[in-house]
Structure 1
Amino acid sequence: MSQHTKTTGFPISHVMGFLMSLVLTFGAVFVALKTSLPLKTIIWVIGTLAVIQAAMQLYMFMHMNEGEDGKAQLINIVYAFFIAAVTVFGTVWVMSFGM
């Protein structure tokens, strides 16, 4: 039986994750407001930065790399994406067709 030891030092990984989130956010703001790129390109860049930020936050803040059973965490993530997709597409469907 192994015993896990928990360190209570300074959470440098959380600070680094926060700073990386700020960099990605300000990068998206810069692309949106200070560049003369076509609208489609701006939307793709912002979307890409958003996906990168979401993945980084799952890894750094939600501790997706921790735990003994990575399968349960993967199932939870897939389920969350399914619920998000059903919510978004269901809302668009209802608002578009009034059903």
Structure 2
Amino acid sequence: MSGHHTHDDHGHGHDSAHHDQHDHGSLKSYTIGFILSVILTAIPFWLVMNKTITSSGTMGLVLLGFAAVQVVVHMVYFLHMNSKSEGGWNMMALIFTIMVVVIAMAGSLWVMYHMNHNMMPSMMPDATHMQSAP
């Protein structure tokens, strides 16, 4: 009986050791994550500095794309999130976080677009000249 109990403890200990080793990344995974993060920061920086894309809307979408990819890289390589960890709770937290970020980004872009659209006519010199004329 005690021999069987010891074997179970050993098996459980091995599983938790394997689980911890899987959750905490190796130096190789951190290095890969760091290199990808540097690349994903350098490319958008280069695109903006050289004005490679002339359309500001297209540039914004490209930068949002790079930002989204970098978020995924950080979650996989630094936070070690996958569908197996924490019994799927990390995946639920990830989905919730993505929804919140998408809503916040879409709302911010919407507000900035409408603010820009609504403010421009009143700031133009012609519009103020027309309003002051009798």
TM-score (norm 1): 0.70
1:83 Cα shift? Answer: 4.5
Contact 2:25 2:80 in 1 (8 A): no
For 1:72 and 1:40, locate their aligned partners in 2 and report how far apart those are by CA, in whole Å.
Answer: 36
Task: Provide the residue aligned with 1:58 in structure 2.
Answer: 75
Q: 1:43 aligns with which of 60, 63, 84?
A: 60
Pair 42,64 (structure 1): closer, same or farther in 2 beyond 3 Å: same
Ranges of 4+ aligned residues in structure 1 off by more than 6 Å: none
| Counterpart among 27, 30, 37 of residue 11 in structure 1 | 27
Partner of 1:73: 90
Q: Deviations over 1:10-39 (max 9, x none)?
A: 611101101110101010001111134221
1:28 equivalent to 2:28? Answer no
Q: Counterpart of 2:80 in 1: which secondary structure?
A: coil
Instruction: Mark the CA change 1:9 to 1:29 in structure 2 (over 3 Å): closer, same or farther.
Output: closer
The count of residues paired between Structure 1 and Structure 2 equals: 91
**Deviation of residue 74 (structure 1)?**
1.4
Alpha-carbon distance in 2 for matches of 1:23, 1:9: 20
TM-score, normalization by structure 2: 0.54
User: Which structure has greater helix proportion?
Assistant: 2
The two structures, once aligned, show a CA RMSD in angstroms of 2.9
Cα drift, residue 77 of structure 1: 1.4
**Residues in 1 aligned to 2:77 and 2:33: alpha-carbon distance in whole angstroms:** 6
Instruction: Provide closer, same or farther for how the CA distance between residues 40 and 83 of structure 1 changes in structure 2, counting only shifts above 3 A.
Output: closer
